[in-house]
Amino acid sequence: MEIKIGKVERKLNQIIEEEGAVYLTLLDPEEENIEKIAENVKDYADAIMVGGSIGVVNLDEAIKKIKKITKLPIILFPGNVDGLSKYADAVFYMSLMNSSNTYWVVTAPTLGAITILKYNLEPIPMAYLCIEPAKKTAVGYVGEIREIPQNKPKITAMYCLSAKFFGMRWAYLEAGSGASYPVNNETISLSKKLSGINIIVGGGIRKPEIAYEKVLAGADAIVTGNLLEENPKAVELMYDAIKKAGREKLKK
Ligand code: 1GP
């Protein structure tokens, strides 16, 4: 049986092919100003991720509000089995591979699988890897991680290769939302080189020049969350830097 790649993932792959990188914006469904943030990102994001590590209450309503503002694809980024909504387009179907608790590695995604099928959500298979300093952020605590040190890029890269062998097409190198520093360039480039799968980088990326570096190092997607609460200009500058680096990467 041939495994079919869904519409949203195909679109992301096409942007990566044509523009070198995608910009994903992460919206917290509990955010009071979600409409305002959706307004700010709608002309710059390639897709909107919705989710977070700490419980969700208003997910359906939040997604409906975003949908009124933009037609951008909405990809769920569930922190647990309650992070699913039939109003979204796709879901990062993820395993927190470096958790010490098998619940986050495989049980939570398994418990969510039937709901994903019922809601007709497009699953995008992804390894979720929490890298130093993620332990100091919410995902580190909730996800009971065995934090991967930044000075051991090979460990992250080996997880990415493992993810590829498991059939996952994406790996998310996560430093944690609000991290004091992002994943380093060496980890990104080695992960990309060894696995060849799509590499998403997020956590602690606040400056356009940092996103620029990450894309040149090999990131196929950049995620920002906290930045979106700043002025709308910050999103535009971030977008410009990601696309500029993407174009340069394609020329290489
Ligand atoms: C969290 O990587 C994302 O999962 C976003 O992090 O909020 O630090 O941009 P920031």
**Cβ-contact 82, 30 below 8 angstroms:** no
- The domain that holds 51 is classified in CATH as 3.20.20.390
Residue 3, pLDDT score: 76
- Confirm whether 43 is domain-assigned: yes
- Confirm whether 98 is domain-assigned: yes
- Confirm whether 182 is domain-assigned: yes
Task: Domain count for the chain, please give it.
Answer: 1
- Confirm whether 66 is domain-assigned: yes
**Cβ-contact 134, 144 below 8 angstroms:** no
**Cβ-contact 134, 140 below 8 angstroms:** yes
pLDDT at 55 over 90: no
Domain enclosing residue 115, as ranges: 7-251
Q: How far is the CA of 1 from the centre of ligand 1 (A)?
A: 36
pLDDT at 2 over 80: no
Query: CA 70 to CA 204: how far, in whole Å?
Result: 26
Phi and psi for 204 in degrees, rounded to 5?
75, 15
CB atoms within 10 A of CB 247: 13
pLDDT in tens, 93-118: 999 999 999 999 999 999 999 999 99
- Confirm whether 175 is domain-assigned: yes
205 lines ligand 1 (CB under 6 A): yes
pLDDT in tens, 216-244: 999 999 999 999 988 889 999 999 999 99
121 lines ligand 1 (CB under 6 A): no
- Confirm whether 203 is domain-assigned: yes
Indicate which atom in ligand 1 lies nearest the CA of residue 205. Answer: 9
pLDDT at 205 over 90: yes
Q: How far is the CA of 50 from the centre of ligand 1 (A)?
A: 11
